[in-house]
Amino acid sequence: MLTPTRIVRAEIRAVSLTYKEPIEWTTGGIEAHADYLVVRIWDCDGRQGAAEAVCRPTWNSMSQGALLALFADIGWPLLSSTGLAPEDLGQIRNVGALTALLDSLLADLYADDQNVAPAAIAGPAVAVVTRGNPREMARAAEAAATRGFGAVKIKLGQGLATDAAVLGAVRSAVGGDFAICGDANGAYGIAECAALMRLAERHGLTFVEDPCRLTPLAASLDRMARSTVPVVVDRFCDSLLAARQFVDLGQIDIAAKPGRCGSRGAGEMLQAAVARGGHAVIGLFGETEIGALAQLRMAAGAEGTTIWGIEASFHDALTEHLLHFDLGLDGGSYAVPPTLHGASAIDWERVEALSSSALVLRK
């Protein structure tokens, strides 16, 4: 257990970043930019930690203004009083975005203390291909493979006939040996899942994420069609408690997202799955390079064979870079970055230049 430390200063910056092209989300709506809070903290010994929070109401019920107010009114008093250990975050109830932000801040702070450096490349690196027509999606998958990604995740859910055409086009474009996985975002009903999983088997998918609306209840999981392709749960696997419920019911392959659950929280979810012989996807949550670095830090602390893939590619959709270095690819995995400590890696001058507002808190 890490010794609690007292935080004496925090800087919170609201940053909005433009997409290279507008994105149409599977949850609905088209967006041209993404909103974040980027936070840096200092403890009484001068150590620093940093993290970002995605501010997207449809994902985590948070705007920049709402999360900034919560951080100032609830998070800061906890951080700056007598010291807050990662184990203490359970006292923040029903505010997942704030808990995840504080969790990731403390994880990065202690990464500074431990001088964390990656030992090896981590992978496979997964590029996510959003919905489109079969030709567009095949072209995007082929471009990802050519660039050096080790796998692609295809957004399914456009109807079984269209999904069949998409998977056929993608498989033809990337070849028979390239890793493909799918994510239907719960688009199908239970009655359609058997047909979807047969498509997944036919095209050699590594896994299918959320083929239908899967909740951590026996009635939900018992009705799933049995398949040789693993099913990964994501949408309702949004906490350590939910992950434990899923694995206790036999659903042992999960998505663990530092951006949604915090660095420590997502790591514990992965461990819960692995303890039952399962795997985890280190999942996408709309991260900039700051969040992607936290994903790589989580991967560096896990046994490689327990990870289906690392979806740290969302920052490629953004026009701005927020680190001092690029996150490169090496043989289908992510190359070793110079550091996994976010506060050291972030280009703070660039963050300041891009921020629309800032708040400084001192003890």
> With bands split at pLDDT 50, 70 and 90, how would you rate the model's confidence at 112?
low
Mean pLDDT for the stretch of residues 69-86: 84
User: What is the spatial distance between Cα 240 and Cα 259, in angstroms, rounded to a whole number?
Assistant: 14
Q: What is the pLDDT of residue 277?
A: 95
User: What is the spatial distance between Cα 199 and Cα 236, in angstroms, rounded to a whole number?
Assistant: 24
Provide CATH 3.30.390.10 ranges for the chain: 7-116+345-362
Provide CATH 3.20.20.120 ranges for the chain: 126-340
Around Cβ 300, how many Cβ atoms within 10 Å? 19
pLDDT greater than 60 at residue 136: yes
User: What is the spatial distance between Cα 62 and Cα 59, in angstroms, rounded to a whole number?
Assistant: 8
> With bands split at pLDDT 50, 70 and 90, how would you rate the model's confidence at 90?
low
Q: What is the pLDDT of residue 24?
A: 82
Q: What is the pLDDT of residue 81?
A: 81
Q: What single string gives the DSSP state of each residue in 123-145?
A: --BEEEE-S--HHHHHHHHHHHH
Q: What is the pLDDT of residue 301?
A: 82
User: What is the spatial distance between Cα 253 and Cα 43, in angstroms, rounded to a whole number?
Assistant: 37
Q: What is the pLDDT of residue 1?
A: 47
Mean pLDDT for the stretch of residues 305-330: 94
Mean pLDDT for the stretch of residues 4-15: 91
pLDDT in tens, 167-179: 999 999 999 999 9
CATH topology of domain 126-340: TIM Barrel (3.20.20)
Mean pLDDT for the stretch of residues 354-358: 95
pTM comes to 0.93
Q: What is the pLDDT of residue 79?
A: 87
pLDDT in tens, 257-267: 999 999 999 99
User: What is the spatial distance between Cα 61 and Cα 192, in angstroms, rounded to a whole number?
Assistant: 30
pLDDT in tens, 213-236: 999 999 888 888 789 999 999 999
pLDDT greater than 70 at residue 269: yes
- Distances in Å between the Cα of 34 and the Cα atoms of 31, 165, 219, 296, 333 are 8, 31, 37, 21, 26
Query: Rounded to the nearest 10 degrees, how much is the dihedral formed by the CA atoms of 189, 194, 197, 198?
Result: -140
Q: What is the pLDDT of residue 34?
A: 95
Q: What single string gives the DSSP state of each residue in 262-291?
A: -HHHHHHHHHHHHHTT-EEEE---S--HHH
- Distances in Å between the Cα of 299 and the Cα atoms of 188, 192, 221, 268 are 31, 34, 28, 12
pLDDT greater than 60 at residue 116: no
Q: What is the pLDDT of residue 36?
A: 98
Around Cβ 92, how many Cβ atoms within 10 Å? 18
Q: What is the pLDDT of residue 6?
A: 84
**Cα 10 → chain centroid:** 24
Of residues 2 and 231, the one with the higher pLDDT is: 231
Q: What is the pLDDT of residue 87?
A: 65
User: What is the spatial distance between Cα 96 and Cα 98, in angstroms, rounded to a whole number?
Assistant: 6
Residue whose structure tokens are 């050699």: 204
CATH 3.30.390.10 is right for the domain spanning 7-116+345-362:
yes
Q: Rounded to the nearest 5°, which phi and psi values hold at 199?
A: -60, -45
Nearest to 170 by CA among 127, 195, 203, 130: 203
